[in-house]
């Protein structure tokens, strides 16, 4: 009897201790649930993109009137060209935006932040990141405490691989974000913080924060539909990185519901569908994306899907198209990294791929460029350089399957079985279907280790 009572007591103690141990998770779950419950519901969608050409025609006319000292019309027109570029991907709109921003700055050189912001955005779209950084810093000379400018500067820092500089801003914004009166005000800052967390090995935290960003970003009726869809697109991108493939597909479809024919959402859909070997869905999404912007990445998905579906002739034609893009459609070199990835992954023009990746390094030295160069070097037989570049790409231990897989293959080449096993397993742990071919290869290599 006494033994039974003792057993009951021990059970109670064990349950209590278990509850104590589980307390942090309970609190965390409650906080997450409370935050989710407090999130705003999406506003109805305003199909502003249908009026884009008409709006631009109006402002083009205003610019042509050459009102004396008119800095507003060209800067407004510049912003509209940039928005149309985000919607349709015509790089000519970026060039036009740059011209109009400069016209606005001729009318008002000092304190013309809207024109300088537009100019900076155009330079980012053209991958002229260092110039964009200079423009942003110039704005900060006459308005040093503007959080919006600090966010822009840190965003460019991330593109350039200046993670230490970005961290200073991110830390500052994180503090301010916690005390902000209105959650919708922190959307730009939180978007930056999410990107930083994603790149520096905190994917789960990034996803959790971005859920809130997406909710507030989609509560704005007057926001461009493309901008609202972008939040869902990013949600899907983060979900795929975390191996939540169903959520990724659902997010991209949500993006397309908000902004039909969104090339970025279709690009991500193609990436996920190809990774899942859903070849027809992949082909459909890739074609839809390429119909808007024929970037090498989506054309690459087309090639993979066409080959998998047995249409070798179509695959060869699409492959030719990618080379055409390199020759005549890449004058601004904004597709350099994508071309290098395609060639490296498909075993084509490996010398070119390496040279292109090296050229990209002069433009930006971020982790993805280092990884692209690592893989291009490896595929071109330059394994020593591949090892150095891969280590640089993973200096923040980014939770990205592809980066981990590349590092694993490079380690395996050098006989470093421990690191290879760790990286290949890491890639599959993040997403067991992270790539149409490399995921299976990672499994095979891991099994052989």
Partner 1 sequence: MNARRIIAPLAAVVAVAAAALLYTTHPVRGSDHQDTFNLANRSNTWADITDVYVFPSPSNAANVVFAMNVSPLIPAGMGTARFFDPTLMWQFKISHGATSPEDQVMQFGVTGTGATQTITMYGPAKPNEVGTSNTFVPVSGSFSYNTATQLNNGVKVFAGPRADPFYFDLFAFFTFLGDRNWATHSSQADPGPETAGPLFNGDNVGVPASFAPAYDKTANPAHPSFNGFPAGTTAGAGSALGNYACSTNASMNTLADLAGGFNVLSFVVEVPRSMLTTGYTSSNIHVWATSNSSTGS
Binding mask 386-405 for partner 1 (x = CB under 8 A): --------------------
Q: Does 247 bind partner 1 (CB under 8 A)?
A: no
Q: For residue 37, give Cα distances in angstroms to 30, 41, 137, 149, 234.
A: 10, 10, 39, 32, 21
User: Is the Cβ of residue 101 or residue 269 nearer to partner 1 in the bound state?
Assistant: 101
Between CA 135 and CA 129 the distance in angstroms is 10
At what angle are helices 245-258 and 263-275 packed, to 10 degrees?
160
Binding to partner 1 by residue 222, rule CB under 8 A? yes
Q: Is 26 in the site for partner 1 (CB under 8 A)?
A: no
Name the segment binding partner 1 (CB under 8 A); options: 61-69, 206-214, 238-246, 362-370. Answer: 61-69
Shortest CB 120 distance to partner 1, Å: 13
57: contact with partner 1 by CB under 8 A: yes
Among 25, 34, 141, 331, binds partner 1 (CB under 8 A): 141
User: Smallest gap, in angstroms, from Cβ of residue 346 to partner 1?
Assistant: 44
Beta carbon of residue 50, minimum distance to partner 1 (angstroms, whole number): 8
Task: Candidates 43, 168, 204, 429: give the one binding partner 1 (CB under 8 A).
Answer: 43
Pick the stretch among 52-60, 94-102, 232-240, 259-267 that binds partner 1 (CB under 8 A).
52-60
CB of 86 to partner 1, least distance (A): 17
Residues 182-201 within binding reach of partner 1 (CB under 8 A): 182, 184-185
Which one of 38-46, 194-202, 293-301, 319-327 is the stretch in contact with partner 1 (CB under 8 A)? 38-46
Report how far apart, in Å, the C-alpha atoms of 73 and of each of 57, 59, 115 are.
Answer: 12, 6, 10
Q: Is 68 a binder of partner 1 (CB under 8 A)? A: yes
3-state secondary structure the chain: CHHHHHHHHHHHHHHHHHHHHHHHHHHHHHHHHHHHHHCCCCCCCCCHHHHHHHHHHHHHHHHHCCCCCCCHHHHHHHHHHHHHHHHHCCHHHHHHHHHHHHHHHHHCCCCCHHHHHHHHHHHHHCCCHHHHHHHHHHHHHHCCCCHHHHHHHHHHHHHHCCHHHHHHHHHHHHHHHHHCCCHHHHHHHHHHHHHHHHHCCCHHHHHHHHHHHHHHHCCCCCCCHHHHHHHHHHHHHHHHHCCCHHHHHHHHHHHHHHCCCCHHHHHHHHHHHHHCCCHHHHHHHHHHHHHHCCCHHHHHHHHHHHHHCCCHHHHHHHHHHHHHHHHHCCCCCCCHHHHHHHHHHHCCCHHHHHHHHHHHHHHCCCHHHHHHHHHHHHHCCCHHHHHHHHHHHCCCCCCCHHHHHHHHHHHHHCCCHHHHHHHHHHHHHHCCCCCCCHHHHHHHHHHHC
Applying CB under 8 A, the span of 87-95, 120-128, 180-188, 396-404 interacting with partner 1 comes to 180-188
Residues 90-109 that bind partner 1 (CB under 8 A): 106-109
Q: Is 6 in the site for partner 1 (CB under 8 A)?
A: no
Choice between 154 and 410, CB closer to partner 1:
154
* Residues 348-387 close enough to bind partner 1 by CB under 8 A: none
111 makes contact with partner 1 (CB under 8 A): yes
| 62 contributes a contact to partner 1 by CB under 8 A | yes
- Of 26 and 142, the one with the shorter C-beta distance to partner 1 is 142
Cβ atoms of 263 and 247 closer than 8 Å: no
Site for partner 1 in 311-340 (CB under 8 A): none
- Of 6, 61, 253, 417, the one binding partner 1 (CB under 8 A) is 61
CB of 176 to partner 1, least distance (A): 12
Indicate which single residue of 6, 28, 67, 253 sits in contact with partner 1 (rule: CB under 8 A): 67
For residues 107 and 340, which CB has a smaller minimum distance to partner 1 in the complex?
107
Q: Under the rule (CB under 8 A), what is the footprint of partner 1?
A: 40, 43-47, 50-51, 54-55, 57-59, 61-62, 65, 67-73, 106-114, 117, 139, 141-143, 145-148, 182, 184-185, 216, 219-223
């Amino acid at each position: 009897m006494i033994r039974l009572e003792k057993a009951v007591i021990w059970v109670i103690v064990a349950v209590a201790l278990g509850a104590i141990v589980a307390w942090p998770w309970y609190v965390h779950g409650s906080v997450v649930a409370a935050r989710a419950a407090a999130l705003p519901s999406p506003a109805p969608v305003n199909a502003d993109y249908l009026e884009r050409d008409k709006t631009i025609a109006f402002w083009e006319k205003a610019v042509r009137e050459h009102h004396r000292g008119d800095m507003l019309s060209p800067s407004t027109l510049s912003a509209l060209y940039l928005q149309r570029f985000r919607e349709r991907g015509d790089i000519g709109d970026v060039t036009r935006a740059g011209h109009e921003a400069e016209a606005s700055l001729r009318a008002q050189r000092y304190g013309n932040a809207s024109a300088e912001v537009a100019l900076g955005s155009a330079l980012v779209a053209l991958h002229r990141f260092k110039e964009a950084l200079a423009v942003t810093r110039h704005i900060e000379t006459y308005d040093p405490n503007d959080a919006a400018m600090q966010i822009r500067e840190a965003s460019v820092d991330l593109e350039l691989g200046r993670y230490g500089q970005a961290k200073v801003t991110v830390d500052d914004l994180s503090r301010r974000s916690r005390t902000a009166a209105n959650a919708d005000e922190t959307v730009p800052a939180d978007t930056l913080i999410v990107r930083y967390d994603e790149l520096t090995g905190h994917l789960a935290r990034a996803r959790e924060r971005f859920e809130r960003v997406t909710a507030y970003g989609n509560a704005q009726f007057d926001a461009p539909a493309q901008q609202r869809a972008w939040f869902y697109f990013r949600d899907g991108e983060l979900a795929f990185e975390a191996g939540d493939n169903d959520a990724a597909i659902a997010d991209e479809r949500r993006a397309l519901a908000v902004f039909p024919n969104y090339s970025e959402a279709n690009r991500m859909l193609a990436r996920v569908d190809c990774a899942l070997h859903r070849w027809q869905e992949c082909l459909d999404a890739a074609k839809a994306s390429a119909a808007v912007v024929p970037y090498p990445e989506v054309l690459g998905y087309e090639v993979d899907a066409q080959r998998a579906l047995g249409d070798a002739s179509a695959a060869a034609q699409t492959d030719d198209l990618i080379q055409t893009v390199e020759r005549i459609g890449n004058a601004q070199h904004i597709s350099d990294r994508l071309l290098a990835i395609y060639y490296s992954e498909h075993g084509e023009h490996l010398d070119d791929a390496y040279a292109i990746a090296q050229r990209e390094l002069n433009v930006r030295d971020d982790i993805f460029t280092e990884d692209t160069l690592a893989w291009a070097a490896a595929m071109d037989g330059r394994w020593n350089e591949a090892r150095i570049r891969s280590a640089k790409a993973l200096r923040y231990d980014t939770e990205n399957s592809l980066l981990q897989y590349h590092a694993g293959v490079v380690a395996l080449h050098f006989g470093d079985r421990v690191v290879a096993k760790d990286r290949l397993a890491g890639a599959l742990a993040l997403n067991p279907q992270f790539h149409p071919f490399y995921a299976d290869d990672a499994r095979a290599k891991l099994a052989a280790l």
